[in-house]
Amino acid sequence: MIIPVITIDGASGVGKGTVSSRVAKHFNWHILDSGAIYRILALTAIKNKIALDDEIELAISAINLDLNFKALEELRTEECAAAASKVAALAKVREALLARQRACRVAPGLVADGRDMGTIVFPDAKIKIFLTATAEERAQRRYKQLKEKGINAKLSDIVIDITERDKRDRTRSIAPCRAADDAFIIDTTNLSIDQVVAQIINL
């Protein structure tokens, strides 16, 4: 039997994480937070003093990466996100992580959250979602999220960070963040989380 996958892609701060975990919970499926993998790699590189553009060393590190890494607080900072976006632009790094991501497709099903889930990692997924929202709205959501977690942040800094990171994620030559041709595009700017989740479950 082919194990079903729902891919949920989109830019940072669009609400992929929350929406993905809600959809996964609804169906009782597994979840792949692919951004966390790039964040863990970035953090490991910083700790091991590997330059964020050293493609070979980073790819080796990616192959051996311990994905059970649990220092979640450290992973959620904007600094870590920016570093993740840099290492994620390297072809050999993405190649090294491809099989590990595909291995997450286990019964009864998987919700895969990222930038290239529908285009590269699970191109045969039956349901592909691409979430969008204006940069201002995404920055606001990220700001609120960080504040709730007690992490200090300035809204104006987040707008700059988010815009910069998105540009890199969208314009890189390898696996850029984009909707698959067969993806359903949902503009979440004026929708609640419940509404987005309901639309996806409906599909």
Of residues 22, 96, 105, 116, which one binds ligand DC by CB under 6 A? 116
* Residue 86: CB minimum distance to ligand DC, A: 9
**Structure tokens belonging to residue 92:** 């050999």
Of residues 40, 50, 105, 115, which one binds ligand DC by CB under 6 A? 115
* Residue 106: CB minimum distance to ligand DC, A: 18
Task: Name the one range near ligand DC by CB under 6 A: 47-55, 61-69, 80-88, 191-199.
Answer: 80-88
Binding mask 149-188 for ligand DC (x = CB under 6 A): ----------------x---x-------------------
Of residues 34, 44, 61, 188, which one binds ligand DC by CB under 6 A? 34
Give CA–CA dist 33/121, Å, rounded: 13
Q: Is 122 in the site for ligand DC (CB under 6 A)?
A: no
- Would you give the distance in Å from CA 96 to the centre of its chain? 17
How many residues form the binding site for ligand DC (CB under 6 A)? 14
At residue 34, what is the residue type? S
* Residue 87: CB minimum distance to ligand DC, A: 8
8 A C-beta contact, residue 177 and residue 10: yes
Question: How many CB atoms within 10 Å of residue 103?
Answer: 9
* Residue 152: CB minimum distance to ligand DC, A: 19
Give CA–CA dist 47/179, Å, rounded: 33
44 - beta bridge partners? none
Q: Which is nearer to ligand DC, 86 or 200 (CB)?
A: 86
- In sequence order, the 6+-apart residues with CB closer than 8 A to the CB of 198 are none
To 10 degrees, the CA torsion angle through 109, 118, 102, 72? -80
8 A C-beta contact, residue 178 and residue 4: no
Name the residues that contact ligand DC, by CB under 6 A: 12, 34-35, 38-39, 81, 84-85, 88, 114-116, 165, 169
